[in-house]
Amino acid sequence: MKKSMLLITGLLVTVAVLFVNAMESENDGLEVGDVATGFELPNVDGKMVSLDSYKDAKGFVVIFTCNTCPYAKLYEQRIIELDKKYSGKGFPVIAINPNDISKQPGDAMEKMKERSSAKGYTFPYLRDDEQNVARAYGATKTPHVYVLNKEGNKLRVEYIGAIDDSPSEEADVSKTYVEDAINALLDGKKPAVTSKRAIGCTIKWKDA
Amino acid sequence: MKAFFIAIILCIGLSSQAAAQDVKAIKLPELDKLISESSDELRIINFWASWCGPCIKEMPHFDKLHTENKAEVYFISLDFPRQLEKVAKLVAKKEIKAPTYLLDEKDADQYIQKIDNNWSGAIPATLFITPSGKRYFYESAFTEEELNATIEKLSTK
């Protein structure tokens, strides 16, 4: 009797620890090597976009970005170039704006529509109103990039972080982190650099 | 009489100009020194940029701690070095009294890791260092109430 009680207590503790760990990893978001979850979010063209609908994609360049952050603006043209260069090769850009519009009205869907048409975005620009995707991915700032690689029906996170090493001047870029990661994946290799941090604007979270 | 007023206005103008601090560009080793020096006071190092709205909003709360001698406060601008003048102008306009520097380093990944390994690079961000040398890093903005509550909490550590 005593033994079985001990066993049950032990099991309960194990379950509790697993549960807490699961919660922690959920809060921390995705890390390189993790399997990313898909999502479905509204696009600037009024339609819903889901990663599942990209049957021919080899992976994705998911970029949390926005209209209003000066760093995001500095990278805007480079994001367009990334999509032009890699969507045809199987790695389309999927841009997601997670900012709370009560704190940042300039990031409302209407403003996103204006920006994407004015700048000629070649990729979806989605609104994450509930901020669930940003939370699930563990995005903290704009711009914040996740390079995902398709493995069967799974999406493996292969790179997280900065687009390149020179936010200020595109001419001064010496390391193209995201391009290097995608090129490696296209060659069937793992990226040599899997994470590089950069300065960015804090995502404007909804008040809890 | 008129000349007298002009003289006074000139004096006020000159003195306020003298009070505005000079913002200096520093490198990572100098920042490291700021972080690692020992002190009897709570040290606060706030990372900001002239383009960051939430940063500028919270600066006066930190500056108040400096002017009231409640903490040793430093502002570290992460603006691009070519914007040093813009940063200095803003600091003067906001009448920021706590020492302000611009971190002139290109490799953000390197300094971000060095300042705090849990920092993703979002600003505002603030590093608190207690007199006993313990470090507390916050990748978020502070209201005045939140900042005072944090100071209170850290004063017992």
CATH assignment of the domain containing A139: 3.40.30.10
Q: How confident is the model at residue A146 (pLDDT cuts 50, 70, 90)?
A: very high
Q: Give residue B157's pLDDT.
A: 76
Looking at the complex, does the CB of residue B142 fall below 8 Å from at least one CB of chain A? no
Q: Measure in Å the smallest separation between the Cα of A49 and chain B Cα atoms.
A: 27
Are both A24 and A73 inside the same structural domain?
no
How far does A169 lie from chain B, in Å, by closest CA? 10
- A37 and A117 housed in the same domain: yes
**Residue A2 pLDDT class (50, 70, 90 cuts):** low
* pLDDT computed for residue A188 by the predictor: 97
Residue A131: Cβ within 10 Å count = 17
Q: What is the mean pLDDT of chain B?
A: 90
Quote the domain boundaries for residue B29.
Answer: 21-154
Give the residues across from A149 on adjacent strands.
A59, A156
Please write the tens of the pLDDT for every residue from A42-58.
999 999 999 999 999 99
Closest by CA to A159, choosing from A73, A60, A11, is A60
B6 falls within a domain: no
Per-residue pLDDT, B155 = 85
For residue A67, tell me if it sits in a domain: yes
What was the pLDDT predicted at A182?
Answer: 98
Whether residue B5 lies inside any domain: the answer is no
CA angle in degrees (0–180, nearest 5) for B99-B103-B107: 160
User: Is A208 a member of any domain?
Assistant: no
Query: Containing domain of residue A194, as a range?
Result: 31-202
What share of chain A in percent tops pLDDT 70? Answer: 87
A161 residue type, one letter: G
Residue A87 and residue A5 share a domain: no
In a shared domain, residues A41 and A3: no
How close A201 gets to chain B, by Cα (Å)?
Answer: 5
- The answer for residues whose C-beta is within 8 angstroms of residue A87's C-beta and 6 or more apart is A93, A122, A123
Amino acid in position A147 = V
Residue A92 covered by a domain: yes
Q: Considering only the beta carbons, identify the residue of A140, A168, A172 that sits closest to B120.
A: A140
Position B156 scores a pLDDT of 83
Mean pLDDT of B9-26: 66
Grade residue A17 by pLDDT with cuts at 50, 70 and 90. Answer: very low
Same domain, A59 and A96: yes
Nearest CB among A144, A168, A202 relative to B123 is that of: A202
Please state the domain count of chain B: 1
Asked whether the predicted pLDDT for residue B84 surpasses 50, the reply is yes
> In total, how many domains does chain A have?
2
Instruction: Give domain status of residue B129, yes or no.
Output: yes
* Interchain contact B51–A (C-beta under 8 A): yes
pLDDT tens for A149-205 read 999 999 999 999 999 999 988 888 999 999 999 999 999 999 999 999 999 999 999
Residue pLDDT, tens place only, A92-117: 999 999 999 999 999 999 999 999 99
pLDDT score of B6: 55
Residue A5 has pLDDT above 70, yes or no: no
- Is the Cβ of A208 closer than 8 Å to some Cβ of chain B? no
Block residue for tokens 């944090």:
B150
| Residue A26 pLDDT level (bands cut at 50, 70, 90) | very low
Same domain, A18 and A39: no
pLDDT at residue B12 is higher than 60: no
Domain-embedded: residue B114: yes
- Give the type of residue at B111: Y
Q: What is the mean pLDDT of residues B112-118?
A: 94
Cα(A149)–Cα(A159) distance, integer angstroms: 9
For A44, B42, B45, B64, B127, the CA distances from B35, given in Å and listed in that order, are 45, 11, 8, 20, 9
In a domain, A207, yes or no: no
Q: Are residues A21 and A47 in the same domain?
A: no
* pLDDT over 50 (residue A23): no
Q: Does A70 touch chain B (CB under 8 A)?
A: yes
B15 pLDDT above the threshold of 80 = no
| Whole-number pLDDT of residue A88 | 97
Question: Is B16 a member of any domain?
Answer: no
Do A62 and A112 lie in a common domain? yes
Q: Is residue B9 part of a domain?
A: no
Residue A72 touches partner B, C-beta closer than 8 Å? no
Q: Does residue B11 sit within a domain?
A: no
Q: Are A111 and A152 found together in one domain?
A: yes
Mean pLDDT over A120-124 rounds to 98
Structure tokens at A168: 């200020």
* pLDDT beyond 60 at B143: yes
3-state SS assignment for residue B39: coil
Evaluate whether residue B97 is within a structural domain. yes
Average pLDDT, chain A: 90
SS3 A128: coil
Q: Looking at residue B135, which CATH number applies to its domain?
A: 3.40.30.10
Query: What's the pLDDT score for residue B21?
Result: 86
In a 13 Å sphere around the CA of A110, the CA atoms on its Cβ side amount to 4
Selected for mutation to probe chain A from B120, B126, B139 (highest A CB count within 10 Å) is: B120
Which of A154, A30, A31, A42 is CA-nearest to residue A94?
Answer: A42
**Which among A71, A168, A198 has the least Cβ separation from residue B109?**
A198
Q: Are residues A131 and A142 in the same domain?
A: yes
| Same domain assignment for residues A115 and A191 | yes
Residues A64 and A16 in one domain: no
Q: Distance between CA atoms of B157 and B155, rounded to whole angstroms? A: 6
Backbone torsions φ then ψ of B65, nearest 5 degrees: -60, -35
pLDDT at B19 over 90: no
